[in-house]
Amino acid sequence: MSSQNPSILLPEGLCIGYRGRFRQSTPDVVLAKTGADIELGDGRHLLLARNGRGKTTLLKTIAGIIPALSGQIACRGLVQFVDEDLRFDGELKARQIFAALFKNGQRAFAMEMAERIELDVEKPYGKLSKGNRQKVGLIVAEARTRHNGPQVLLLDEPFSGLDFAARDKVDQIWSEHEEGIVRLVCVHPDEPTLKADSAIAIREGRLEQIEVENGSLDWLETRLSLN
């Protein structure tokens, strides 16, 4: 793989979870382990698991927010963790947020994406619905990827507040901009859209890669495998 291409390597022996408290003799909480190397390159990769199995913990570990219990994750590219609870100043309009964060081409892209996914850029952020606040976060993350070299985007439940029309438009935008970007997308197993280049599942305490045929997962088979 070229040094210019982004990637995520989850090595064999990686263990994610939470460290116990030494003074209180609390043991580590282990959520999942890898049994073999998992490497993700350009494109979209889904992260699937039932609630409480470690999806968000894995994203935060990759982002360096919390440490791995063992093993060393290697990322090539600028890493962004996009939390579904990302917040901005409630008095600012989306247009003002984009103007404060971006210049020139990135700002133009942000405004174009806002129009495509039907975000009202003149409405104060604090008065936006959950879905429209998520649109702001998605736009900010995507605009940051423009003209900044290899990128790793870690997206935590980005579609939870979006309607089907908005999801389809975001899906189209992602499809237009795949080269140079790794998107690891945490989604609920009941998501109707499971398009991906590959997928990672957390099941029975194991981090495993799932084979993807023709760019999509079998929804029922995948869901049942997580039970």
The DSSP code sequence of 93-128 is BHHHHHHHH--HHHHHHHHHHHHHTT--TTSBGGGS
Q: Which of 84-88, 108-112, 222-226 is most confident? A: 108-112
Q: Which of 61-75, 145-159, 177-191, 193-207 is most confident? A: 61-75
Q: Tell me how far apart the alpha carbons of residues 167 and 32 are, in angstroms, rounded to a whole number.
A: 29
Name the CATH superfamily housing domain 7-88+152-225. P-loop containing nucleotide triphosphate hydrolases (3.40.50.300)
pLDDT tens-digit profile of 191-213?
655 678 888 999 899 999 887 77
Burial 71-82 (b: 16+ CB within 10 A, else e): bebebbbebbbb
pLDDT band at 2; cut points 50, 70, 90 = very low
Residue 39's pLDDT is 95
CA distances from 106 to 58, 111, 124, 139, 208 (A): 29, 9, 21, 10, 36
Quick one: how far is CA 149 from the chain centroid? 18
Greatest distance between any 2 Cα atoms in the chain:
54
Q: Give me the phi and psi of 152, to 5 degrees please.
A: -125, 115
Is the pLDDT score of 17 beyond 50? yes
Residue 1's pLDDT is 43
Mean pLDDT, the chain, integer: 88
Is the pLDDT score of 23 beyond 70? no
**Is 48 strand, coil or helix?**
strand
Is the pLDDT score of 62 beyond 80? yes
Q: pTM for this structure?
A: 0.89
pLDDT > 90 fraction of the chain, expressed in percent and rounded = 63
Q: Give me the phi and psi of 157, to 5 degrees please.
A: 50, 55
Domain residue ranges of the chain, discontinuous segments joined by +: 7-88+152-225
